[in-house]
Amino acid sequence: MSEIELEKKRVFSAIQPSGMLTLGNYLGALKNWKDMQNDYDCLFSVADLHAITVRQEPAKLRQQVYTTAALLLAIGLQPQESIIFIQSHVSAHSQLAWLLSCYTQFGELSRMTQFKDKSQKHADNVNAGLFSYPSLMAADILLYHSDLVPVGADQKQHIEITRDIATRFNNIYGDVFTIPEPYIRKIGARVMSLQEPTKKMSKSDENVNAWVAILDSPEDIMRKFKRAMTDSDSNVCVGEGRDGVNNLIGIYSAITHRTADQVAAEFEGKGYGDFKKAVGEAVVEELRPVREKYEYYIKDKKELEAIYKIGAEKAEKIANRTLGKAMKKIGFVI
């Protein structure tokens, strides 16, 4: 590794293999990951350990891990530039998670918004892992001395508790962990439902027209955008209470790199029909190479496995050094 590379800030991010990834995942996170590779020292992980807080069918989970790993490569993550691996393949994640859980307060965990939300959605399975997952997430981040963690604005709480845990540990044992900062990109950071634009786009939405999957066909993408919710005003511009149009402008801006004012000028005098068609076409062309590359990687399991195994080996070297230092500080016999 060159001196220039050593000067780069380190970025860690992970995504759960919880089913088909959406346009919201792509614009809010994955596209940013691709763009960050040149400027940062990056590690990206398929967070399969986090996925089992909800009951999973073994065969389906296994396939979703393959699908997510293939998608990470399809969006343009380069194993020559970044470390790409599966979380459970680096045992230090589970080990450090237990250590950090002993430095995480019950009150902190009980205040986590995601725990409250998932407890309501899965009332028949409110397990200890669902409650203590922030300790595992903190381990994910802190193992690699991450400087920045790309998150959506609604996930900032996750980084805050990681910072609190790391600071508490460092105050007791000295400078062990790097205190991470959230990296939040304003444009495209939060993509809303196409049918209920006050809600975040989610693949769990029962209305299939509310969300766009990264691997949707061009025909399905166009159909969903043509049916997207707008309002009675035909002007294409950002405005208070115009959630549907604001959402479409945000999507179009994130893909075309145009400001909201530039988008409004482009469609001045045109109706929503023209605008929805343009947004749909932009999304189709943005995702076309992703779908093509995905098909290549998902059909070549040997190459896919080779990439994430090499990534795990690289990640493990970094993670084990951090884990060993933390254990030694606590007083374990190493």
* Domain ranges (residues) in the chain: 3-189+301-330, 208-294
What pLDDT score was predicted for residue 186? 61
The question of whether 203 is a catalytic residue gets the answer yes
What pLDDT score was predicted for residue 63? 94
Q: What would the two tokens of residue 124 be?
A: 């028949």
The question of whether 118 is a catalytic residue gets the answer yes
End-to-end CA distance of the chain: 28
Q: Tell me if residue 326 falls in helix, strand or coil.
A: helix
Mean pLDDT on 202-227: 94
Domain 3-189+301-330, CATH among 3.40.50.620, 1.10.10.10, 3.40.50.2300, 3.40.720.10: 3.40.50.620
Distance of CA 302 to the CA centre of its chain: 25
Rounded to an integer, what distance in angstroms lies between the CA atom of residue 305 and that of residue 66?
9
Rounded to an integer, what distance in angstroms lies between the CA atom of residue 231 and that of residue 249?
13
What pLDDT score was predicted for residue 188? 53
pLDDT band at 187 (very low <50, low <70, confident <90, very high): low
In this prediction the pTM is 0.87
What pLDDT score was predicted for residue 95? 98
Q: At what angle do helices 128-142 and 113-121 cross, to 10 degrees?
A: 140
Q: Is the pLDDT of residue 6 over 70?
A: no
Judge whether 70 and 294 are in contact, CB under 8 Å.
yes
User: What is 95-140 written as a DSSP string?
Assistant: HHHHHHHTTS-HHHHHT-HHHHHHHHHTTT---HHHHHHHHHHHHH
Rounded to an integer, what distance in angstroms lies between the CA atom of residue 181 and that of residue 72?
23
Least confident range from 13-27, 49-63, 145-159: namely: 145-159
Q: Which of 45, 5, 110, 1 lies closest to 307 in space, CA to CA?
A: 45
Distance of CA 157 to the CA centre of its chain: 14
Rounded to an integer, what distance in angstroms lies between the CA atom of residue 307 and that of residue 325?
28
Task: Name the catalytic one among 156, 186, 199, 203.
Answer: 203
What pLDDT score was predicted for residue 1? 43
Spatial strand order of the sheet with 10-15 comes to: 83-86, 41-46, 10-15, 148-150, 181-183
Judge whether 198 and 210 are in contact, CB under 8 Å.
no
- Region class of 82: left (phi > 0), else alpha (psi between -120 and 50), else beta: beta
Fold matches, 3-189+301-330 and 208-294? no
The question of whether 34 is a catalytic residue gets the answer no
Domain 208-294, CATH among 1.10.240.10, 3.40.50.300, 3.40.225.10, 2.60.120.260: 1.10.240.10
Residue with tokens 């939060």: 190
Task: Name the catalytic one among 34, 118, 224, 276.
Answer: 118
User: What is 205-265 written as a DSSP string?
Assistant: -S-GGG--BTT--HHHHHHHHHT----S----S--TT-HHHHHHHHHHHHHHT--HHHHHH
HEC readout, 130-179: HHHHHHHHHHHHHCCCCCEEECCHHHHHHHHHHHHHHHHHHHHHCCCCCC
What pLDDT score was predicted for residue 70? 96
pLDDT band at 235 (very low <50, low <70, confident <90, very high): confident
